[in-house]
């Protein structure tokens, strides 16, 4: 979501993503691709809340969304599933810090509240102001995780200072989750953010980041669904600004000291988490996600 727009108002894009995760979580266990019941608490938009009234209405909404913007719903829910797998493995191996970079209405702080971890929620102030009271009200008690709120505009290049001032420990293995943000940022802001992460993250730390295919930004994509959503976000004042091919994104991470360990597009995610095609979701392949590891300096 656009950082500049987010500084003026809480992100509708983040609410839509939360509604998608909530709608998927309402489906029967044998069919759902994600179980994130916390997401519904972060959906305030009246029309979106109506769609979450029951699982049949939610299913119809997902189907309509998927027909118009194929691949996007699968990516939204399965990037969360992919990240959960990485997070579980990281916590088991002793990771002591989670950074949710451009956190939006992500529910990791609620779902990992019993883990011995410090969670840094990094986002623009307006979205945090809407999210924080709900998260703090729902956090279970007692809990082990410590949640730290870090307001930050990534286009302004203040990430490193803001995290350190908030108690980030540069010697502690960390998992950074950076989803749904890079496509709305300038190349300069992406490079600056990765510079900061390279300086902050101890060797062995992990980064999960997703990206948009470069052809969507240039207008050359063969995917009709991608062309449609590009027009929608542009009309809303949040145009896609940066895209990458899969090799370009891995090379970008590599230049900043992060080595790719797992890389998946939409079709890969569906094959991994829905091999029987029970969901029936479209696999339009114009988004990707990477798990990378911070290499020794």
> In the predicted model, what is the mean pLDDT of the chain?
93
Per-residue pLDDT, 9:
55
- Is residue 89 within 8 A of residue 117, CB to CB? The reply is no
Per-residue pLDDT, 236:
85
Q: How confident is the model at residue 238 (pLDDT cuts 50, 70, 90)?
A: confident
Percent of residues, the chain, with pLDDT higher than 70: 96
Beta bridge partners of 265: 288
Q: Cite the DSSP H helix spans in 93-213.
A: 108-111, 125-138, 159-165, 187-200
Per-residue pLDDT, 59:
96
Per-residue pLDDT, 10:
60
pLDDT tens profile 221-231: 999 999 999 99
Per-residue pLDDT, 6:
37
Q: Which residues of 74-87 are buried (b: 16+ CB within 10 A; e: fewer)?
A: bbbbbbbbbbbebb
Q: Are strands 174-178 and 97-101 parallel, antiparallel or unpaired?
A: parallel
What would the mean pLDDT of 99-120 be, rounded to a whole number?
95
Per-residue pLDDT, 296:
86
Q: How confident is the model at residue 95 (pLDDT cuts 50, 70, 90)?
A: very high
* DSSP structural state of residue 262: E
Per-residue pLDDT, 3:
36
Per-residue pLDDT, 1:
37
- Is residue 78 within 8 A of residue 269, CB to CB? The reply is yes
For residue 2, pLDDT beyond 70: no
H/E segment holding residue 251:
helix 246-255
E-only strand ranges, the chain: 97-101, 118-123, 146-151, 174-178, 206-212, 258-265, 287-294
Closest CA to 71 of 237, 254, 264: 264
Percent of residues, the chain, with pLDDT higher than 90: 87
Whole-number Å distance between alpha carbons of 295 and 293:
6
Closest CA to 259 of 203, 212, 189: 203
For residue 206, pLDDT beyond 90: yes
pLDDT tens profile 124-182: 888 899 999 999 999 998 899 999 999 998 888 689 999 999 999 999 999 999 999 99
């Amino acid at each position: 979501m656009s950082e500049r727009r987010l500084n003026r108002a809480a992100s509708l894009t983040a609410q839509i993503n939360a509604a998608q995760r909530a709608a998927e979580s309402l489906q029967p266990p044998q069919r759902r691709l994600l179980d994130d019941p916390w997401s519904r608490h972060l959906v305030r938009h009246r029309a979106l809340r109506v769609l979450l009234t029951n699982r049949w209405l939610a299913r119809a909404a997902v189907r309509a969304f998927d027909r118009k913007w194929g691949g996007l719903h699968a990516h939204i829910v399965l990037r969360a599933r992919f990240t959960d797998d990485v997070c579980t493995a990281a916590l088991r191996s002793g990771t002591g810090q989670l950074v949710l970079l451009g956190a939006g209405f992500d529910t990791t702080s609620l779902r990992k509240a019993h883990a011995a971890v410090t969670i840094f929620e990094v986002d623009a102030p307006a979205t945090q102001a809407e999210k924080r009271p709900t998260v703090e009200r729902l956090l279970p008690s007692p809990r082990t995780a410590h949640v730290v709120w870090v307001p930050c505009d990534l286009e302004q290049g203040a990430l490193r200072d803001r995290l350190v001032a908030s108690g980030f420990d540069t010697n502690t293995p960390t998992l950074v989750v950076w989803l749904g943000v890079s496509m709305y940022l300038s190349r300069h802001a992406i490079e600056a953010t990765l510079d900061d992460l390279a300086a902050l993250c101890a060797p062995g730390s992990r980064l999960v980041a997703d990206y948009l295919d470069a052809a969507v930004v240039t207008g050359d994509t063969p995917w009709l669904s991608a062309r449609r959503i590009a027009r929608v976000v542009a009309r809303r004042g949040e145009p896609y600004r940066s895209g990458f091919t899969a090799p370009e994104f891995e090379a970008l991470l590599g230049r900043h000291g992060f080595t790719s360990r797992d890389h998946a597009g939409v079709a890969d995610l569906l094959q991994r988490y829905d091999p029987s095609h029970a969901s029936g979701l479209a696999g339009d392949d114009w988004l990707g996600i990477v798990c990378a590891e911070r290499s020794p300096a």
